[in-house]
Homo-oligomer: A and B are copies of this chain.
Amino acid sequence: MSEARDGAVHGADPTIEATARTTLRRKRERGSFDRATIYSILDEGLICHVGFEDEGSVVVLPTIYARTGDDIYLHGAAANRMLHQAAGVPVCVTVTLVDGIVFARSAFHHSMNYRSVVIFGTGAKVEDEAEKEAALNAIVDHIAPGRSADARGPTAVELKSTSVVRVRLAEASAKVRTGPPLDDEEDMGLAIWAGVLPFETTALAAIPDPALRQPVPLPQYVSEYAKRRLGQRDRL
C-alpha cells in the first residue's frame, strides 16, 4: 500500500462503501473501492476535472487540488464561477492518469491503460481560517512538495480573495486498466502487431523566470521533480 499523504488511511475501513453511482455496471473487475488505491491515484494526479451544474448546464472544468486524508480541496478566486457554484451543490470530481495505449489485433478491442477516480460529493465552502490556510498549503505542496514552506505565504487580503471548497471522499471509486490487449480467440493468430505503448510524463529542465533580480539556486524539490514522478515505469 502506498503511504497516504498524511501518513494514515482514514477510518477503520480500508474500503469506501459502494453505492449505486460508484458501482460499475460493466467490467466490474476494473473497479475498486480500496482507499489506498484511490489515495494513490489522487496523489499522483496533478489536475482534476470538476463537474457541476451552472444555470441549467453541466460544466466540466480542469483545476488543481489536494487530498488531505478523506478530503479533497479545490481553490480559486472568490469570484470564480466554479468555486461559487461548487459550494453547497452536488459535484463530481474525476482524476484520470493515462498510462498507455493498448493495441489489440481488432480495432474493436483497442483500449487505454489508465487509472481514474470518480468522486461524488457536495462541495462545502471552507470558512475556518486554519483549515483554509492548511488546504492552500496542501494544494501548493500537492503540485510541488515542500514549496509552501519556501514561497511567500498568503496575506490576509489574498486569503480573503481566495475561496476553498472541500469535497469529502465519502462516495468514490477507482477504475484501473492494466496489461496487454484482450483479443477474441479467433483473432489471436492474425499477423497484426499487438501490445502496449506505455506513456511517461517527465519534467524537462526548469526555466528560471527571466525577471529574477538575483541569482537564486534551483530548489531541490524542483530539480528532483522528475525522479519523483517517474513511477509509471514500475507499474507496467
A46 touches B98 (CB 8 A): yes
For residue A96, CB closer than 8 A to chain B, the reply is yes
A10: Cβ under 8 A from any B Cβ? no
Q: How far, in whole Å, are A116 and B48 apart by their CA atoms in the complex?
A: 13
Nearest to A76 among chain B residues (CB) is B26
Residue in A107, A181, A188, A203 with the greatest tally of chain B CB atoms within 10 Å: A107
* A side interface size, CB within 8 A: 96
- Report the Cα distance A148→B110, complex, angstroms: 10
8 Å CB contacts to B: which residues of A44-79? 46-47, 49-54, 57-62, 64, 77, 79
Q: Which A residues lie at the B interface, using CB under 8 A?
A: 21, 25-26, 46-47, 49-54, 57-62, 64, 77, 79-81, 90-94, 96, 98, 101, 103-108, 110, 112, 114, 116, 118, 120, 136-137, 140, 143-144, 147-148, 150-155, 158, 162, 180-181, 187-214, 216-219, 222, 225, 232-233, 236
A183 vs chain B, min Cβ distance (A) = 8
Contacts of A236 in B (CB 8 A): 207
